[in-house]
């Protein structure tokens, strides 16, 4: 994929985080309270600041943790639509640079990641 750095995917993000994502960013020196919020169902999400992901650098129009970004961010714009299945997010201006092969590979990663995140959220609720 060739990202255009438009920042649309980082605007009002609802990106879910796995425990592995959280641990990786904490190890990099970020406080969990800086970037994680938990919803009522126990899901961990990236926080927003001033309408964008806390890690999105508005001046540079890029992710400040790109190499260590959450798994969901690295898979994007391949997403799971509950009605349509694995799709390319219409919001992404660069979605046309994803090949069908890449979509299929990333689609499998999306399913695995969401299963993992679902299990982690269920453990937080119990």
pLDDT (tens digit, 9 = 90+) per residue, 3-55? Answer: 888 899 999 999 999 999 999 999 999 999 999 999 999 999 999 999 999 99
* CB 32 within 8 Å of CB 22: yes
Q: For residue 3, what pLDDT is reported?
A: 82
pLDDT in tens, 43-90: 999 999 999 999 999 999 999 999 999 999 999 999 999 999 999 999
pTM of the predicted protein model = 0.92
Q: For residue 4, what pLDDT is reported?
A: 84
The contacts of residue 16 (CB under 8 Å, 6+ apart) are: 43, 44, 45, 72, 114, 117
* CB 54 within 8 Å of CB 10: no
Q: For residue 1, what pLDDT is reported?
A: 73
């Amino acid at each position: 994929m060739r990202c255009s750095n438009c920042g649309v995917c980082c605007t009002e993000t609802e990106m879910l985080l796995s425990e592995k994502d959280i641990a990786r960013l904490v190890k990099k020196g970020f406080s969990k309270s800086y970037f994680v919020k938990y919803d009522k169902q126990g899901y961990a999400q990236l926080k927003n600041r001033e309408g964008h992901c806390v890690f999105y650098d508005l001046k540079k129009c890029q992710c400040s943790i790109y190499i260590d970004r959450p798994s969901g961010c690295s898979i994007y714009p391949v997403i799971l639509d509950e009605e349509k299945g694995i799709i390319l997010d219409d919001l992404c201006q660069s979605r046309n640079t994803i090949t069908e092969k890449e979509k299929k590979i990333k689609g499998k990663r999306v399913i695995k990641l969401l299963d993992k995140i679902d299990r982690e959220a269920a453990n937080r609720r119990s």
